[in-house]
Structure 1
């Protein structure tokens, strides 16, 4: 499969000769989130509401939402397990014995760049098809220049997120806080590959505080903006 994302990036920074490719269309909505915020739940809910809008307007098509599929498809492309791709892309630390096992393994493990670019290529292709909500994986940076795109970030105070993680996974509040901070750090490392040191404000169009807003309120506001921008 041609890596259209890398082709696009080369054109964007002026490394291609002659005529550059036309701007990608969309529509695509991306959802980034701090750990503990309900990104997947809101992504699924949003796609259902947008699809229902299309039906009531008697328009063809539906909205998809992608999260787990990004890792699954990238793993298939790289011929590795989804869990390994997830761990590598999230810069998960390995134990001494895990590293020792990899050292003596005959299995080929691709570089961080190859993994990240494979993930980005899948996201770029999915967004190019339009009518898609993409959760996580630096999708806001990968699709920022799409003609029809809207990028949001879900945030909440650390204490609130830690309580959610504690209740969900049976951890102490202290353990949950450390997990939130570690996951935020690892996700930031992945985003940094695409965003470098550019401030968040350059990538996100809106931020929502999940502690203060319900899922219904967040989705309703996103739908209003989607309608205003001609996404449906």
Structure 2
């Protein structure tokens, strides 16, 4: 059953929806989804892309929305001439120590610097966003595309205990192990984002925050769709 907020928003945006879609001289539209570890970013992105595509088709627009996550690593690996597995390892939000970097420097294999890895990822995200009709999960995409007029930036959050339980159920961990994993991954993701965001607060980058512990996937998706429609992302 729809809640009153969603009913109100549908009625409100139904009256105020812009008759024009994104302008052709502006990149996008792009929707970014950042998430705390344990929140269902990919699942929501996949369903959101399907929903927006269906709405486009209903309006006679055949252009499909797509969502990307692991493709960021795959394409960046191709650009750097690395295997996707190695690229994933090198970009896994991990801060390497001085001695780890020194060992990589003297290695026989090619290991690009952290800066080159991050900038290659940013380049792929930027180019995908310029093409438009794309939902990007993670990798500081909200900072890379923040100045796009046709953009919408989402962050999924939830209490630590709720996220730890989801991680424990998914990975077969104890609750204590899952809690440590969630804290560590949150720290790594923040460190990656801070390379682009310079430790500025979330409110400088995100338009909407959702609590995954109290909202269903369907409620989150419908709320995003309503705002996307009001901004002319569906035409």
Question: Is TM-score (shorter-chain normalized) higher than 0.5?
Answer: yes
> Residue by residue, what CA displacement relative to the aligned partner does 1:83-134 show, whole Å, maximum 9, x if unpaired?
2222222343779xx9898566311111111000000000000000000000
Q: Check if 1:133 corresponds to 2:131.
A: no
| Compared CA separation, residues 24 and 106, structure 1 to 2 (3 A) | farther
Distance (Å, rounded) in 2 between the aligned partners of 1:119 and 1:91: 12
Paired residues for 1:45-194 under 5 Å: 45-92=47-94, 102=104, 105-194=107-196
Change in CA separation of 1:113 and 1:100 when aligned onto 2, cut-off 3 Å: closer
Partners of 2:199 and 2:177 lie apart in 1 by 29
Distance 2:226 2:93 in 1: 36
User: Any stretches of 5+ residues in structure 1 without a counterpart?
Assistant: 1-22
Distance of aligned partners of 1:91 and 1:217 in 2 relative to their CA distance in 1, 3 Å threshold: closer
RMSD, matched Cα = 2.0
Q: What corresponds to 2:227 in structure 1?
A: 225
Please give the secondary structure, in 2, of the residue aligned with 1:110: coil
Measured against aligned partners, the alpha-carbon deviations of 1:8-53 in whole angstroms (never above 9, x if no partner) come to xxxxxxxxxxxxxxx8421000000000000000000000000000
For 1:91 and 1:212, the matched residues in 2 are separated by 28
Partner of 2:28: 26
- 8 Å CA contact 2:30–2:129 kept in 1: the answer is yes
Tell me which residue corresponds to 1:214. 216
Question: What SS does structure 2 have at the residue aligned with 1:37?
Answer: coil
Cα distance in structure 1, aligned partners of 2:95 and 2:204 = 30
Contact 2:105–2:111 under 8 Å retained in 1: no
> 5+ unaligned residues in a row in structure 2: which ranges?
1-24
Q: Does the Cα contact within 8 Å between 1:74 and 1:119 map onto a contact in 2?
A: yes
User: How many residue pairs get matched?
Assistant: 209
Cα deviation code 1:176-232 (max 9, x no counterpart): 000000000001111000000211100000000000001100000000000000111
TM-score calculated relative to the size of structure 2: 0.84
Q: d(CA) in 2 for partners of 1:45 and 1:160?
A: 22
Partner of 2:206: 204
Cα deviation for residue 72 of structure 1 reads 0.3
Paired with 1:227 and 1:207, the residues of 2 have a C-alpha distance of 18
CA contact (8 A) 2:156 2:209 kept: yes
